[in-house]
Amino acid sequence: MLMDKFHTDMMGSLFGNPHSASQSSQQSTQMIDDTRLQLLRLFQADPEEFDVVFIANATAAIKLVMDALRDQDGGFWYGYHVDSHTSLVGVREVADEHRCFESDQVVERWIGDGCEGAVKKAGLFAYPAQSNMNGRRLPLRWSSQIRDTAGPPIYTMLDAAALTSTSPLDLSDSDAAPDFTALSLYKIFGFPDLGALIVRKEAAHVFAKRAYFGGGTVDMVVCLKETWHAKKTGSLHEQLEDGTLPVHSILASRAAMDTHAELYGTLDRVSRHTAMLAERLYEGLQKLKHANGSAVAQIYKHETSDYGKRSTQGPIVAFSLRDSHSKWISNTEVEKLASIKGIQLRVGGLCNPGGIASALHLEPWEMRDNFSAGQRCGGEHDILNGKPTGMIRASLGAMSTLGDVEKLLSFIDEFFVDQAPPKPQLRFSAVRNVAPRADWHIEALTVYPIKSCGGWQIPSYTDWDIRPEGLAWDREWCIVHQGTGVALSQKRYPRMALIRPHLDFKTGKLIISQHSNATVVSVPLSLDPSYFDPTDLKSHTTQVCGDTIKTRIYTSAAIANFFTDALGVPCTLARFPSPTLTDPSTRHSKPQLSKPSSTFGPSPLLLPNESPILAITRPSLNALNTFLKLHSLPAAPAAQFRANIVLAQSSPAGSETPWAEDTWQGFAVASDKGVEGASLDVLGGCRRCGMVCVDQTTGIRAEAGEPFVSLAKMRRIRGRVLFGVHCALRGSAGSVRVGQVVEPVNGRESE
């Protein structure tokens, strides 16, 4: 609807750059003036008392105020509430003095004591109207209280980006209003990507000291011989909107305001609707209990908040989940499963460092420790030393429905509520020990010459070299994005499965084909420069799983075209350099392993996401397929798990031991016909994600999220969905072959 309206507006008139005299320019000026007024009216802000500045987003609005304060004589003092969004926290870096207020009481006491702290300096106090972490709403009265205290002036900035997405904001009393109000229009309307700063005109004088000027905010500039300029003196927005205005975004925001009103009525109506939904979600989460009576959700509600009271709480629920032993479930694991089920959650640090630290009781030293242990914003390592380092956030908006709330609750109920006491047979080390000495052997060996692309089956009767970095020719190449240099993965580009590399030792070539394409490309297998023209490759740095690695990229246009056509993104082939004795770590897909182990800390939870060799066992796959069959779901072929080694057992039917690999410390491949065997260490279980849903023969991800969804039900160990084990060669060289007998070594601690 909004798009239709915007389209009609765009087709109906020509909007030019507003700083000219042409008809189209005048039209823009008119439209922008009208939109400005409409936006002020949305917040009952009198245009006599307030002005609005269009700007990229709320962060840019905050920085505009920051710039003005930095340019005050003597700098400025900055106070901010602990619940502030990262974008408010960052202002402290340019302040001369700053203070973080750790609670509402501390703010109130400070106000009661006359706002001391800012001596002979301009001051700025900033806080969010609603926490973007858990949706709690903070008192709006602080702005006027701070203004009413005697002493040096302290300006107030209200970050209303989260609040206004689902709530009205009333600026009708300009004496009580914040001096600066930062907004993200896209959070209210979804489109366009635009922010705004509402300025109380009484406080506009702070901007007079702003040093910078740009095209649009200056009347005359002299550059040669003298440097002199005259800033615009008209309305405040003319002085602050540097450069060309985002005319078409402003036009779209007008359409957005109209459409929003048509669809939802007022922001107050949105507020009532979303509050009702949030209360249902909050109560529903609280009611969830495991069969043993323990709570499932830990909800991070502020003590002053009440889901029944809109002035204290917005329609957001922040929480974490625990299993029936009260162990935390990894947030990213919940997110992975939710996204497969079509539920959008936000997890992690939520851009709210102070709020997260106080809600999770994380001390600064713990956060620094976690950082050194590899925790990063958006990373997988979200439970460190038994504590979550982030949370799950469910936000409700104008378009959310009761059905959405029910869907989220039943999703959690289905996957994370332990219905019956945990079945002891899932951990049957006892059974395993009495099982007959199992007769394991190598059923299949596969290499993936190009990372994330199709596999190449190693022919039987062939001895295959195995090295510390993996099976020979495994992940020797990768496909990189031509713009960013990032190595592509099947997670983003499932069609990579359709790219089939073939190792042809007769011709000494890697031949690459793709089933829907008659073209075939090939590159020499050897890295020996005498085999090809060195101009065929150029050095390049590539990002593989977040680590920077040196690669050699192919310069051939035919190769680039082949991969670009196959995947529909501008990309080409690159080769990893061979590992050398002095630098074994340059080898590709295993950056995590090459890190000194101390960076990962002692926690056994921190497993490498990739490893030299991935092994799965046929009995475990059979167990999964039995489960799938029981639920009338199609069986999962071994190829979907992209293992290098498939191990099978030749025990009589019914006496197989699925999940035996959970307790393997390693396994030894027996010597065979004069060929020396190899010993492999098991590094840990392989943590799975939605990538196992990609059918490797069609490159299509299963809509229903199978078999990941079923795997998540039957194989969740400490919150992680494990299938297969990561392994590495012990020693420096060896070889393996299909059919060889394998002897497992038990004794690894169950994860």
Query: Among all residues, which ones are annotated catalytic?
Result: 351
CB of 452 to ligand PLP, least distance (A): 32
Residue ranges in 141-180 that form contacts with ligand PLP under rule CB under 6 A: 159, 161-162
Residue 124, SS3? strand
CA 574 to mean position of chain CA atoms: 26
> What does the block give as tokens for 554?
């192919």
Residue 148, SS3? helix
Query: Given the rule CB under 6 A, which of 56-64, 545-553, 564-572, 576-584 is the region that contacts ligand PLP?
Result: 56-64
Nearest to ligand PLP of 184, 551 (CB atom):
184
CB of 347 to ligand PLP, least distance (A): 16
Kind plus residue range of the DSSP H or E element containing 680: strand 678-687
Residues recorded for the chain: 751
Residue 289, SS3? strand
Nearest to ligand PLP of 161, 615 (CB atom):
161
Do 100 and 126 meet the contact criterion of CB atoms below 8 Å apart? no
Query: Given the rule CB under 6 A, which of 54-62, 207-215, 436-444, 651-659 is the region that contacts ligand PLP?
Result: 54-62
CB of 709 to ligand PLP, least distance (A): 32
CB of 9 to ligand PLP, least distance (A): 23
Do 731 and 669 meet the contact criterion of CB atoms below 8 Å apart? no
CB of 391 to ligand PLP, least distance (A): 15
Size of the site for ligand PLP (CB under 6 A): 12
What are the C-alpha distances in Å from 540 to residues 115, 302, 553, 557, 563?
Answer: 56, 50, 6, 16, 18
Rounded Cα gap, residues 644 and 647, in angstroms: 10
For residue 57, state whether it binds ligand PLP (rule: CB under 6 A).
Answer: yes
Query: Given the rule CB under 6 A, which of 52-60, 290-298, 361-369, 409-417 is the region that contacts ligand PLP?
Result: 52-60
CB of 189 to ligand PLP, least distance (A): 12
Euclidean distance between the first and final Cα of the chain, in Å?
A: 51
For residue 83, state whether it binds ligand PLP (rule: CB under 6 A).
Answer: no
Rounded Cα gap, residues 131 and 350, in angstroms: 10
Residue 523, SS3? strand
Selected binder of ligand PLP within 87, 217, 274, 649 (CB under 6 A): 87
Dihedrals φ, ψ of 478, to 5°? -150, 170
Nearest to ligand PLP of 256, 738 (CB atom):
256
Do 84 and 113 meet the contact criterion of CB atoms below 8 Å apart? no
Selected binder of ligand PLP within 28, 59, 625, 735 (CB under 6 A): 59
> What does the block give as tokens for 652?
């009589």
Nearest to ligand PLP of 159, 380 (CB atom):
159
Dihedrals φ, ψ of 539, to 5°? -70, 150
Supply the angle between the helices 23-42 and 247-264 in degrees, to the nearest 10. Answer: 40
Selected binder of ligand PLP within 184, 259, 592, 649 (CB under 6 A): 184
Rounded Cα gap, residues 442 and 444, in angstroms: 6
CB of 377 to ligand PLP, least distance (A): 14
CB of 366 to ligand PLP, least distance (A): 24
Nearest to ligand PLP of 104, 159 (CB atom):
159
Question: 297 pairs with which residues across the strands?
Answer: 321
In Å, the largest CA–CA distance within the chain is 95
Residue ranges in 639-698 that form contacts with ligand PLP under rule CB under 6 A: none
Selected binder of ligand PLP within 39, 58, 188, 450 (CB under 6 A): 58
Rounded Cα gap, residues 319 and 136, in angstroms: 13
Query: Given the rule CB under 6 A, which of 51-59, 224-232, 241-249, 643-651 is the region that contacts ligand PLP?
Result: 51-59
Nearest to ligand PLP of 91, 118 (CB atom):
91
Selected binder of ligand PLP within 36, 70, 81, 85 (CB under 6 A): 85
Nearest to ligand PLP of 123, 128 (CB atom):
128
For residue 195, state whether it binds ligand PLP (rule: CB under 6 A).
Answer: yes
Residue 262, SS3? helix
Residues within the interface to ligand PLP (CB under 6 A): 57-59, 85, 87, 128, 132, 159, 161-162, 184, 195
